Structure 1
Amino acid sequence: MRRMMPKTARATRKKGQPRRRVRPLWRQPSLVSIAILAAAATSGGGSWWLWQTGWVQKLAYTTKESLVVKTAQAGFSVSEIFVEGRIETEKAALLASLQLDRGAPILSFDLKQARARVISLPWVRTAVIERQLPNVIHLKLEERRPLALWQNKGRFSLIDTRGNLIPLSDISRFNNLVVVVGRDAPRNTAALLDTLAVAPELARKVKAAVWVGERRWDVQLENRIDVKLPEANAIAAWVQLAEMQDRHQLLDTEISVIDLRLPDRIIVRQAPGGEARSYRGGAKASIPSVKPGSQLNRRGIERNT
């Protein structure tokens, strides 16, 4: 079927004017390139030469760029970026990591490289980046959750729920978190806080914890009392201490150490000059001539073995 020219267009051409010449298909640049490639393919040496000189790669790149520009002109360009899950990550830092401007061709946006840049941000644990054609980039973040402060060799670092460091230069706004000490303390902190959470009122008094002997915790309360948790059945021991606090207001007295390592009793050691007491169930009995336990006489946290 022959294409009919609209009447308005036919009327504009006057008689006697030369007809516009149409370039033959075989003279189109793209077809010329294809013909050259086909000819080269028939001779092994020619194709090798084209590849080695980079002519093939350059042609492919030019063709791709031309196609991308045409798709952008057709409406396939970035007009919106939707972000889901952003809490701590700064907006400016996130946009800078995407390296994406409004109006950029959406098909030329490298999702893999963009994701690598995004997950390198301090707060980002993982990210999913998707194109939603014709003009939307959707970014879903999973951020790290701050859990505690790790004191190591005199320096403090913020750790997340998996025990990994969150590389921040300023952690001053997280001073309310529990401080943990010990080489492998970070990877055991989540389990400790789960244990403490079974007695919420008591857990709120915890200021720091030391990972002792790679097997158990010493917990320091806000009134400078050290609580020695056992290696096994730490939850039961912690609940027992909470019950003793309810019955005897144990933490309101002048004591320095509460030892929960024995399964059938709680041993309490008072400050120097005081006496130690042993609590069995609901009864309590004084134990004379027991030396006071260890105490913290200087700032910081000391390891009790």
Structure 2
Amino acid sequence: MSEVTDNPIAAKLKGRARTQAPARRADPAPSRWAWRMQRLMLTPLFRLGLRVGIPFAITLSAGTWWLSNPENQAMILDAVAQTRASIEERPEFMVNLMAIDGGNPDIDTAIRAAVPLDFPISSFELDPSAMRDTLIGMAPIKEAAVRIRPGGILQVDITPRVPIAIWRTAEGLTLVDHEGTLVSKIARRDTRPDLPVIAGEGAHEHVIEAMELVDAGAPLGARLRGLVRMGDRRWDVVLDRNQRILLPAKGAVRALERAIALDGVDQVLSRDIARIDLRLSDRPTVRMNAAANDTWWTTRQLNSRNQ
């Protein structure tokens, strides 16, 4: 033990070791950038972006690049068209015929011409609402319903307009309903002998009043030929033998009833007269025909000479 202590070299090394500073341990704290990164990774929104946003952006970019190729676009469109056609052309979706109820042969023909369809046709290619609008726009049809029945039948139910009078104009004869709507044209009067004839400007707009006059003139029977609207203000009743009853603008029905009552008492309409003017209720006047007027003047002159 003394030998070791007495060794000068060992003593020198031991003294140097005592004077040397102790070694420093490594700092466990992270660097500033490492700390910021750790804090960022703890943020929920940042982690959501890493987990969802980046994959989505990569996928979107790849998809956009792939779809930018015209060949790929055409391939997708062809696939969609083939898939759609395979569904639409299945037998259960095909319409094979059209059934029309509520009309007549002329209306049926007009409907098939207005809505031309090449059967069989897929129900996906039909638009019942648009077809209904087209049918309602047709003059003879008042209301319509369009639907696709089971079994591939396109069902069309219509309510036709019912004409109640014939409107005579310079363009010809036209059937009108109670609303004054033009239904259809006819070639001759004897096509509908059951309907009265009205004429004059705006006559179809007052068809209800005209029908009231026709009903009031029922006692005239076959002598009643029609009604003429004068100046879009009042009516003239036209009888056979070119006779007319001029009615006032107001109270026309009552005035006509007075004329019929007068004829029942004095047989006025059976005489050779041309007009009965009832426009002035307190002063009705009668106009004779030219031949009757000449005869009356001749008779009056002879009577004056004899006196």
Question: Is the contact between residue 228 and residue 257 of structure 1 (CA under 8 Å) also seen in structure 2?
Answer: yes
Q: Distance in 2 between matches of 1:54 and 1:242?
A: 83
Name stretches of at least 5 consecutive residues in structure 1 with no aligned partner: 1-38, 276-288, 290-305
* Paired letter, 2:265: R
Change in CA separation of 1:67 and 1:179 when aligned onto 2, cut-off 3 Å = same
> Residue deviations 1:95-125, cap 9 Å, x none?
3444345544344332134335544555334
Offset, 1:185: 2.0
Aligned pair partner of 1:241 in 239, 242, 259: 259
Q: Which residue of 1 aligns with 2:270?
A: 252
Offset, 1:94: 3.0
Change in CA separation of 1:55 and 1:149 when aligned onto 2, cut-off 3 Å = farther
> Residue deviations 1:209-253, cap 9 Å, x none?
322232111121123111111111111112222222333333222
* Paired letter, 1:160: V
CA RMSD of aligned residues (A): 3.7
Identity among equivalent pairs (%):
21
Q: Which residue of 1 aligns with 2:156?
A: 139
Task: Establish whether residue 108 from structure 1 lines up as the match of residue 125 from structure 2.
Answer: yes
Give the TM-score, by structure 2 length. Answer: 0.60
Give the TM-score, by structure 1 length. Answer: 0.61
Aligned length in residues:
232
Task: Establish whether residue 188 from structure 1 lines up as the match of residue 195 from structure 2.
Answer: no
Q: Which residue of 2 aligns with 1:65?
A: 85
Q: Distance in 2 between matches of 1:141 and 1:184?
A: 28
Change in CA separation of 1:267 and 1:117 when aligned onto 2, cut-off 3 Å = same
Name stretches of at least 5 consecutive residues in structure 2 with no aligned partner: 1-58, 294-299, 301-307
Mapping of residues 150-161 of structure 1, within 5 Å? 150-152=167-169, 154-161=170-177
* Paired letter, 1:64: R
Q: Which residue of 1 aligns with 2:239?
A: 221
Offset, 1:61: 4.8
For residue 94 of structure 2, give the secondary structure of its aligned residue in structure 1. Answer: coil
Mapping of residues 1-305 of structure 1, within 5 Å? 61-70=81-90, 72=91, 75-78=92-95, 81-87=98-104, 89-100=106-117, 103-119=120-136, 121=138, 123-152=140-169, 154-161=170-177, 162-166=179-183, 168=185, 170-171=187-188, 173-174=190-191, 176=193, 177-202=195-220, 204-264=222-282, 266-272=284-290, 274=292
For residue 188 of structure 1, give the secondary structure of its aligned residue in structure 2. Answer: helix
Offset, 1:165: 3.3
Question: Is the contact between residue 151 and residue 180 of structure 1 (CA under 8 Å) also seen in structure 2?
Answer: yes
More helix per residue: 1 or 2?
Answer: 2
Change in CA separation of 1:159 and 1:150 when aligned onto 2, cut-off 3 Å = same
Q: Distance in 1 between matches of 2:238 and 2:97?
A: 50
Question: Is the contact between residue 173 and residue 186 of structure 2 (CA under 8 Å) also seen in structure 1?
Answer: no
